[in-house]
Chain A
Amino acid sequence: MDQKTIISTENLVKTYKDNGMEAKAVRGISLEITSGEFTAVVGPSGSGKTTFLNLISGLDTPTKGTVMINNKLISEMKGKELSDFRRDNIGFVFQSYNLIPVLTVEENIEYIMLLQNVPKSERHERVIKILEEVGLSGLETRRPTQLSGGQQQRVAIARAMVSNPTLILADEPTANLDSEMGSELLKMMKVLNETTGMTFLFSTHDEMIMDRARRLITLKDGLVKTDEIR
């Protein structure tokens, strides 16, 4: 596994302005994440975890500072360029509501490949393969409402991974799951990280889950408090 830098942020600042009130969500974060890492971002509520992840993914734009992904300056990208870059390079997993309710498991996983114009037969092959990897073989025709919360999050991870992005970003992927399901999900993510070498960056509140991370970045008041590799 080569150790090339995948994410690099430089003095990243995000200030929200709400009716004249300023909220400094991220106050200057500079760090690098290398390929194949399995990193957790932790910190109390309001410490800026979600904001930080959104800045890296380009869902949000920084007030100051830069974000580079794969040596591309995404903090300067806009519109179609940004959304195409995001689609092709970053897989998302949100805390909840990751799936389009009216689409089946297969159709949800397929969606991004459809936007990428991947041919039908290849799409199906990849869906079957990734479902096997996340342990949901045979559920491709189910609707999200027919799945447990843990299964839904696995589908979300499958969806995020299926188009082989550079990076998987997951914002509190286990927060809506009970601790057993949460730790199962994380175990699976780690296995996927080890077998595929894909880079994972996720945030969490959960102590047990933090322990599984190989690198732990702790945020406090929008700044990095500790950054340890274990």
Chain B
Amino acid sequence: MIILKIAFRNIFRQKRRSILTALSMFGGFFLSAFFIGFSDGSYNTIISMFTSNNLGHIQIHENTYLDKPSLYKTINNYEEVLQKLAEIKGVKSYSPRIFSAGIVSVGDKSSGARIFGVDQSKEIKTTNFDKKIIKGKVFSGEEAYEVIIGEGLSKILKAEIGEELVVISQGADGSIANDAYKITGISKSGNEIEDRVTMYLPLKVAQELLVLEGRVHEIAITVGNLNSVNKINELVSKKINSEEIEAVPWQVFAKSFYDAMQADVAGMWVMLVIIMFVVAIGVLNTVLMSVLERRREYGLLKAMGTKPKDIIKLILTEINILAFICIILGSVAGFGINLLLSKHGIAMPEPITYGGMKFQYMTSEVNLRSFLIPAVIVFVSATIVGFFPALKAAKTDPAKAMRTH
């Protein structure tokens, strides 16, 4: 009790020193909170940028499709699966797709192309499909004989809106697939290489061309909250409950991207360790000075019969009271900056347009761990570092300390 009293009052007696100590703790807390909030925020921005372009957050395929894609590995009851998805809370949108490849020509120019069959209205909800159209229009109907081609492909084919595009491919029944469609739009996804080989058909039309009526290769799903992807993926798996098809989250189907993001997260931890060191050095410096300066006080306390462990307690209490105050103030400040940056973000040197979405700002996120981790960092580093000066103070020899010369 009396120790607590002495500790409390010492903080206010040594104002300048307390402020210095507090500044390094507060600064450490604030910086860590900011780093975590911003890193988590931009992590999610980048993931959503990457996934909402066309991948989605969760994908459903035939079991072996991801290992070795093939025209024949299809989801055969997809209408049924879509109905089930509609019932799952947390699923924001979903979009069935067909993939194939073929040769396309306009006039006397021809080129290879990847054929995407998309359900336009669902694709718009899932990947902002309409925003990718930079010239012309979206399909006039779900069964229109129309095609949208990538910007690069339109250049290769020297194709204009309104011209006719002929496709030659292979049907699932082994027949030669061959038909002609009117070019109604030109798209730009943000990925130029892709745009040189991309063509979109309405899903129904693609199914007919490839003889895949009632079947699709993929269902892409987006979720409301990226942090709950894995939970929702489980829900989806349970709901579709099938041996032939499976749902996988983006961490699996975009593994190399996920690995790169993990490296980024590791970078954040390195940063936090550095901050921890800075806090530790700041605290060590001032606490050590204070302990040296207050040698007589410790000598007196010991001469009066105070136990060494109570002197350690005294010093650690002083540090922890300060740490506590700093954590409260730091939480307010950290919350403030993260909230502000989650609303407004930091402008990127150059805005990125990706998948028809313009990313101009990196935003922060307000989450629990942006408070918990800094609190642990400040408490742990201050306590560890305070322990050595405290031990030194506890060992003060009162006979020596109380000598006047």
Contact = CB atoms under 8 A, between A and B. Distances in A.
Interface of A: 50, 54, 59-60, 80, 83-84, 86-87, 92, 94-103, 107, 111-112, 114-115, 171-172, 175
Given A92-B303, A92-B304, A102-B10, A114 B2 contact: yes
Contact of A112 (B304, B402, B403): B304
Given A50-B403, A97-B296, A59 B10 contact: no
A60 B399 contact: yes
Given A54-B399, A111-B2, A102 B303 contact: no
A-B CB proximity, top 6 nearest: A87-B305, A102-B9, A59-B399, A60-B399, A54-B399, A97-B296
Interface of B: 1-2, 5-6, 9-10, 13, 296-297, 300-307, 398-399, 402-404
Nearest to A102: B9
Nearest to B297: A100
Nearest to A160: B304
B5 A98 contact: no
Nearest to A54: B399
A222 to B, nearest CB: 16
A91 B296 CA distance: 17
B13 A101 contact: yes
A204 to B, nearest CB: 14
Contact of B303 (A59, A99, A101, A103): A59
Nearest to A156: B300
A171 B404 CA distance: 10
B305 A100 contact: no
Contacts of B402: 59, 94, 97, 171
Nearest to B301: A100
A115 B305 contact: yes
A74 to B, nearest CB: 14
A34 B4 CA distance: 40
15 contacts: A59-B398, A83-B302, A83-B305, A86-B303, A87-B304, A92-B303, A97-B300, A99-B300, A100-B300, A102-B6, A102-B9, A107-B2, A111-B304, A114-B1, A115-B304
